[in-house]
Amino acid sequence: MTNPTPPDVLPRHGWGDVARAWWAGHWADLPINTKRIFKLLSTGIAVIFLIAGFCLGRAVEVPGSEKFWSIGAQPIATLIAASAAVLAGALAFMTGLRSREQDREHHCSERSWSRLQWVIDKGSSTNPDAGLDEGLRDAILSEIELEAAKLDDESLKKAVGFYRLQVSAAFAATDLIE
């Protein structure tokens, strides 16, 4: 019985550089440059607000006396600047949370790939005292599959499935020989 060929995802991504593979897998399918869209969108929103402010300023007379605006302009500007600072802080906080979550996912994914590599290395050892029997190998592979499902890592799922297929084919071949 010949060994099955590995899935397409293994040669392309390899065992290392999981973050690059994950990033490329999520963003490679987008046909457009997201940075360019963000720049155009933010510029467009700013222009719309400027035009709206200009039109509003031309259409409406400034309420109140000049004395009110000479006293009240500074606190109003401070309030607007403080609001912008709070908004920027909230945005930075949310970006930090997202980055932390991505780091955690990357760490879990890298750990799962390392565990799978360890199982493969121990399983291919010719030393009978490798310490990895069939039950332990199955338990570890099941845990790796659960983590891959939790992380939604298709390439890890395929790699575990492919390795299980290879191991079952190898055990079937040794059972036929004995």
Domain ranges of the chain: 31-58+72-177
pLDDT band, very low/low/confident/very high, at 29 (cuts 50, 70, 90): low
- pLDDT, tens only, 135-147: 788 888 888 888 8
pTM of the model: 0.47
Q: What is the pLDDT of residue 9?
A: 43
Q: Which amino acid would we find at residue 94?
A: M
Q: What is the pLDDT of residue 80?
A: 92
CA 138 to each of CA 52, 91, 134, 154: distance values in angstroms, whole numbers, following the listed order: 65, 44, 6, 19
Q: Which amino acid would we find at residue 124?
A: S
* Torsion-angle region of 2 (φ positive above 0: left; ψ -120 to 50: alpha; else: beta): beta
- Say how far apart CA 105 and CA 99 lie, in whole Å: 10
Asked if residue 17 has pLDDT above 70, the reply is no
pLDDT band, very low/low/confident/very high, at 78 (cuts 50, 70, 90): very high
Asked if residue 124 has pLDDT above 50, the reply is yes
pLDDT band, very low/low/confident/very high, at 126 (cuts 50, 70, 90): low
First CA to last CA across the chain, in angstroms?
A: 15
Q: Which residue has the higher pLDDT, 125 or 157?
A: 157
